[in-house]
Amino acid sequence: MVGVHAAAITFDLHVPESRSLKAKRAVIRPIVDGLRHRFHLSVAETGHLDQWQRAEIGVALVAATDDRVREVLDTVERFVASAAGIELLGTEVAWFDPEGVLS
């Protein structure tokens, strides 16, 4: 499939001020909603669901070129890193290979 360029990125987050799952979700929800509505991406909280001060957010995107995917990934990472109430601990990117293999 020529012309399909896709990637998924996960963000490992620390929510230092959270003292409950409800408080954590109050910090994470605006990030998830912001990514969905501002960038029109598929987004979900994907890990650390039962921990008060940790969260993982997964984002998937498809674009016409690798350069566009990289540009959006950079913008999304800056958006998440600048969010209030969190510390970005790490990111991991997985690229979709049109041959059907993830790299």
Domain ranges of the chain: 5-96
Cα distance between residue 30 and residue 28, in whole Å = 6
Q: What is the pTM of this model?
A: 0.89
Beta-bridge partner residues of 56: 12, 47
What is 5-96's CATH topology? Alpha-Beta Plaits (3.30.70)
Q: Is 46 helix (H, G, I), strand (E, B) or coil?
A: strand
pLDDT digits (tens), the chain, 103 positions = 467 899 999 999 999 999 999 999 999 999 999 999 999 999 999 999 999 999 999 999 999 899 999 999 999 999 999 999 999 999 999 998 766 655 5
H helix runs in 40-84, sequence order: 66-81
The pLDDT value recorded for residue 89 is 97
Task: Answer yes or no: are the C-beta atoms of 94 and 8 closer than 8 Å.
Answer: yes
